[in-house]
Structure 1
Amino acid sequence: MIFFTADTHFFDEYLKHDQQFANRDFLTVAEMNQTIIDNWNFVVGLEDIVYHLGDVAQIASNVTGYQQVLDVLASLNGQIVFIKGNHDPRALLKYLKKKQLRTPKGKEKFLFHDVGLILKFDHYQFFLTHYPLMLGISVNSINLHGHIHHYAVNSATNINVGVDTPEGDYLAGRKRPFGQPFSQKEVVEMVQQKDIDFKKRK
């Protein structure tokens, strides 16, 4: 299966208890980190793919900090495809590449893309980026992004898949566990429901 997430911000002392810009209510970063890990692993299998659209962690820019991030990522199921966010130092990504891990079936655990990539499924073309991307008039093209935390772009063609996103509310009223990545099926449902919502506003 394929999943999508963004803005995990592991170890972020500033966002651990932020209910305005983010949507978090934790006493410690350890509690926040473990909640994301547990909810991630509840749905993501060992050989599934998770597209992480940037801002993995907020840590000290040194080997100790990078190793802390690696230890957390090692505990997450699946292969992780990273798209660089504004809080992702190149040195961290180079460290992860150097310390490359393997899935149980031998695939590289970490893959990297600098700006973004395009996926096609369910008759949609998905542009995966960290920052929201304004696509203009484009049939069946959708931008999956992060960066803006507990906010949504005022466009039916943009879906925020970050852990703090308010757009999880499009999933038929289901309350999703914090930090749980969105499946392909959930992304398509979000796209369809947001489109319906915007058509009602006209």
Structure 2
Amino acid sequence: MRHDYFISDHHFGHKHIIDFESRPFQDAEEMTRYMVESWNSVVGEEDKVFHLGDFSFLNRDKTKEIVNALNGYKVLILGNHDRGRSRSWWLDVGFDEVSEHPIVYKNFFFLSHEPMYMNKHMPYVNVHGHIHGQKYEGKSYFNVCVEHWDYKPLSFEQIRDSVVVSEEQ
């Protein structure tokens, strides 16, 4: 059975992110190995992954090598660090789809890189990245940055069930 997964902010090749976000790696190469293994430990070839931005700081060849090593059908929503490269650049390195804008998923979830404004009366959930180790309060936001989830993509069911549980509390 095919599953949909969500994750953001790998920052492949960005050695300074290790210090900025207190990531537990000696260097960018160790970080890359761990993040690829973590992704593939939960995502199968038939699964679909929505990457919510800030994927790689590496050149075309190294980025392509990483994308090709990752399981699944990959959709990229461009993050602030991805926008220096064209949509066609990201397709060329192996993403199956690339969006410059947020995506509405299952008519209820807004997928975006940066958190979107959600007032307390909106029934929707914004699944986002960008803010790394921080978290927005409330039932309207769900942060899928790698730092919160041991560098593993989250399934739709994990997100849905977490949102439902928080609404019942």
Q: State the match for 1:131 in structure 2.
A: 114
| Alignment partners' CA distance in 1, 2:108 and 2:51 | 18
Q: State the match for 1:95 in structure 2.
A: 89
Structure 1 residue ranges (4+ consecutive) displaced by more than 6 angstroms after TM superposition = none
Secondary structure of the 2:122 match is: coil
Residue of 188, 193, 201 corresponding to 2:160: 188
CA spacing shift, 1:92–1:27, aligned 2, 3 Å: farther
8 Å Cα contact 2:5/2:48 also seen in 1: yes
Residue of 62, 71, 87 corresponding to 1:68: 62
Q: What TM-score, normalized to structure 1? A: 0.76
Secondary structure of the 1:30 match is: helix
Query: Pairwise mapping of residues 106-117 of structure 1 onto structure 2 (< 5 A)?
Result: 109-117=95-103
8 Å Cα contact 1:3/1:51 also seen in 2: yes
| Alignment partners' CA distance in 2, 1:41 and 1:23 | 23
Post-superposition Cα deviations, 1:136-191, rounded to whole Å, max 9, x if no partner, equal 2122x1000000000001222100011013xx5xxxxxxxxx21000011111221
Q: State the match for 1:148 in structure 2.
A: 131
| Alignment partners' CA distance in 1, 2:56 and 2:29 | 13
Post-superposition Cα deviations, 1:82-133, rounded to whole Å, max 9, x if no partner, equal 0010000342542232354xxxxxxxx520110111111xxx7000000101
Query: Pairwise mapping of residues 145-184 of structure 1 onto structure 2 (< 5 A)?
Result: 145-165=128-148, 178-184=150-156
CA RMSD of aligned residues (A): 1.8
Q: State the match for 2:9 in structure 1.
A: 7
Structure 2 unaligned spans of 5+: none
| Alignment partners' CA distance in 1, 2:73 and 2:84 | 20
CA spacing shift, 1:115–1:150, aligned 2, 3 Å: same
| Alignment partners' CA distance in 1, 2:66 and 2:41 | 15
Q: State the match for 2:29 in structure 1.
A: 30
Structure 1 unaligned spans of 5+: 60-64, 101-108, 169-177
8 Å Cα contact 2:90/2:98 also seen in 1: no
Deviation at 1:45, TM superposition (A): 0.6
Name the count of aligned residue pairs: 166
Deviation at 1:17, TM superposition (A): 3.6
| Alignment partners' CA distance in 2, 1:37 and 1:143 | 25
CA spacing shift, 1:45–1:158, aligned 2, 3 Å: same
| Alignment partners' CA distance in 2, 1:4 and 1:158 | 14
Q: What TM-score, normalized to structure 2? A: 0.90
